[in-house]
Each structure stands twice: as C-alpha cells, then as structure tokens.
Structure 1
C-alpha cells in the first residue's frame, strides 16, 4: 500500500505505508512533508519506518525531524509500539509525554488511537 491521503475524524491525514522507505535522514522527512502538501494537515508515520536513531535522543535526529514538521505547520504522529525504546530512555519517555500534551507531535499506539485523538481535538 502506498502512502495515502485519508480523512480521519474530519482531518486530512497522510497515512504512511509501514513498508515504505525508512525515514533515516532529514531529506526523507522533507519528502513526507512534500507529499503532505497535497492537502494533509497530519502525517502519520509508522514507528517502524523511523530510523532507530530517532529514538536515541542524543543523536538529535528526532529534534531535527520534529522541528521540520513544526516549521511547515504539519502535525507529525508516530504510530505504533515504541515501548522497547521507552524502556531504555527516561528522556524519551519525557519527550513523548510532553509531546502528547500538545498539538504538533503525537505518539499513539495505533490508527484507532489517532482517530480518537483527532476527534477529541475537534
């Protein structure tokens, strides 16, 4: 399945294919941002597509990617089980908790949770 633009809870979301190319560089993130400019407000990226360095905050890769989405006024949603990464890093747990309190970057376990979150934010 290719990345597809879907309306979810009334919001246009670019739902990225779990089997798509890995997001291992800022250029790959910019490619997703470019694809979202077809009308998406949210980009839902499966956690498995993110390079492991995304979850190791010392690399600063997560910060670079997240800042790109904020700069382009797109919401980034990481979809999937990241519990193994969370178990290894208190800093990542804090980042996820703080991100989920706001509107720009979310971490959700699945698309159903994304739908519920979108519906709740109107």
Structure 2
C-alpha cells in the first residue's frame, strides 16, 4: 500500500486481504495500529498496544461479541476491548485509542484518532 496521503488517511489493505473476525497490525503515521474486520463486515482500528501486557499484540487477539458489543480479546492476558470505543469490557477505567476507518473502492484506510469520550 501507499504511504499516508495529505488527507491524513493511510491505505492499509484491501477488503479481500483481511478475513472476517481477524486483525492485522499496521504502522500508521508512526503508530502501531490494529485493524479489525468483524463477522458482519464492520471495520475498526485500535492502538495495537495492550495496556495490561504492555505489548503490541491486540491485532493477534480473538475477535468476538459480548451481547451486541464487538470486541477483541488480548492474546496475552485475555482482556476484552470494545472495538467501537476501545474501553476494556472487564475494567471500564482502561481504554485504548480508536481510529477512524473507511473503505474506498475496496481499499481499507485508517484515519485520525477518534476523540475520547470524557
């Protein structure tokens, strides 16, 4: 894929390159980002660093749902992080940064960090 454009969006992969319920790590503007595709073809991006394990591993986590909340479980210590807001489902005082995602002409782009909810 090409580097970040002047619009602040980085192409990461094509839709066909990431299977459903999987993640992939990407370097986006110097940040380690984990990009996920859910079973229903929704796309999400989070910081790749698990705050509990202090390791860049979230892209290798297990993607699932708890009720209607899509999440990724850290592969090291199994804490689940909501894909929509980055909040740990077991400890809401802990969160990871989320990023905007868009799909254009079959290419998945990661954009700027989302504003955190106070």
Bigger share in helix: 1
Q: Please, what TM-score do these two structures have when normalized by structure 1?
A: 0.33
Which is richer in strand?
2
